[in-house]
C-alpha cells in the first residue's frame, strides 16, 4: 500500500512538471511570434491571422503586416499627416509616424528613388561640438553657421538605417515628436526605420506629397 501511494505521488509530480513545461513553452512561443515568419519555438507555421499579426507589431500609430509578401516596394510619405506608408505590389504593408522638415527646412515633394542605403550613418552638417574626451561643448550645431570652439571636434548626428532618396535628403531613424522637426530629412521611430530599411532596396520609389 505504501509503495502504491509513493508511486501515485511520483506520477502526480511528473504530471505537474510536464504541464508547467508545456505552459512555459507556450508562453515563450507567443512572446517571440512578432509576425516575421515561422516561429522557431513551434513545429509549424502559426495559423494565418492577419489581425493578430498586425497587432503583434503595432506600436502606437505604427504597424507592420508581415503577411504581405512579394511585389514591388513603394514608400509614400504624406507630409500633412506626418506618416509614411510602405506598399508591396500595391498592398499596404505598414504605416509609420514620421517627422519631416520644420519651417525653413521643408522636405521637398516629388517622386524619387532610393539611391543609397547605409546601416550606420552620421550627418556631415548637423551634430555637436565635443571635447577630445567626448564631452559635449555645444549641441545642435550647423557646421556652416556655428564656429567650432578651440580644441573641439565635430560629431555628426546619428542617422541609423539611412536611405538617401533626394541628394542630401534621407529617411532615417530619429526623434519623432509628432510634428515637423527635422532639417529636411524624414525621421522614423527606430523600430520602424529598421523594418523599412530591411524591406526597401536601392531603386525603391519614394513619393513625397503634401
Write down the catalytic residue from 175, 185, 191, 210: 185
Predicted confidence at residue 66, as pLDDT, reads 94
Does 185 participate in catalysis according to the annotation? yes
- Higher-confidence residue of 18 and 76: namely 76
Predicted confidence at residue 124, as pLDDT, reads 87
Could you read off the pLDDT of 20-54 as tens digits, one per residue? 444 444 443 333 322 333 332 223 333 334 333 34
pLDDT, average across residues 62-79: 97
**Cα–Cα distance, 183 to 102 (Å, whole number):** 6
Is pTM beyond 0.85? Reply is no
Could you read off the pLDDT of 119-150 as tens digits, one per residue? 998 988 889 899 999 899 999 899 989 999 99
Dihedral over Cα of 41, 29, 50, 192: its sign: negative
Predicted confidence at residue 170, as pLDDT, reads 98
Nearest to 165 by CA among 131, 200, 122: 200
What percent of the chain is modeled with pLDDT above 90?
Answer: 64
pLDDT, average across residues 2-16: 48
Does 172 participate in catalysis according to the annotation? yes
**Cα–Cα distance, 181 to 126 (Å, whole number):** 13
Write down the catalytic residue from 172, 175, 191, 210: 172
Cell of 110: 516629388
Q: Report the CATH number of the 48-121+159-209 domain.
A: 2.40.440.10
Q: Range with the lowest mean pLDDT among 51-55, 159-163, 192-196, 197-201?
A: 51-55
Residues 189 and 171: beta-carbon distance below 8 Å: no
Confidence of residue 157 (pLDDT cuts 50, 70, 90): confident
Could you read off the pLDDT of 158-186 as tens digits, one per residue? 999 999 999 999 999 999 999 999 999 99
Q: Range with the lowest mean pLDDT among 4-13, 57-66, 185-194?
A: 4-13
- Higher-confidence residue of 16 and 102: namely 102
What percent of the chain is modeled with pLDDT above 70?
Answer: 71
Place of cell 567650432: 148
Amino acid at each position: 500500500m505504501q509503495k502504491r501511494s509513493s508511486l501515485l505521488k511520483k506520477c502526480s509530480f511528473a504530471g505537474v512538471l510536464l504541464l508547467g513545461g508545456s505552459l512555459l513553452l507556450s508562453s515563450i512561443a507567443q512572446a517571440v511570434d512578432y509576425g516575421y515568419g515561422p516561429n522557431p519555438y513551434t513545429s509549424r507555421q502559426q495559423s494565418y491571422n492577419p489581425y493578430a499579426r498586425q497587432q503583434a507589431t503595432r506600436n502606437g500609430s505604427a504597424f507592420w503586416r508581415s503577411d504581405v509578401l512579394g511585389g514591388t516596394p513603394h514608400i509614400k510619405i504624406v507630409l500633412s499627416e506626418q506618416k509614411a506608408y510602405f506598399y508591396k505590389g500595391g498592398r499596404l504593408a505598414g504605416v509609420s509616424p514620421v517627422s519631416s522638415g520644420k519651417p525653413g527646412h521643408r522636405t521637398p515633394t516629388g517622386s524619387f528613388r532610393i539611391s543609397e542605403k547605409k546601416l550606420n550613418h552620421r550627418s556631415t552638417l548637423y551634430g555637436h561640438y565635443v571635447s577630445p574626451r567626448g564631452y559635449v561643448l555645444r549641441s545642435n550645431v550647423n557646421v556652416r553657421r556655428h564656429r567650432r570652439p578651440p580644441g573641439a571636434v565635430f560629431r555628426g548626428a546619428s542617422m541609423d538605417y539611412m536611405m538617401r532618396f533626394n541628394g542630401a535628403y534621407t529617411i532615417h531613424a530619429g526623434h519623432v515628436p509628432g510634428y515637423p522637426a527635422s532639417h529636411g530629412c524624414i525621421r522614423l521611430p527606430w523600430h520602424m526605420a529598421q523594418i523599412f530599411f530591411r524591406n526597401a532596396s536601392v531603386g525603391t520609389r519614394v513619393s513625397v506629397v503634401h
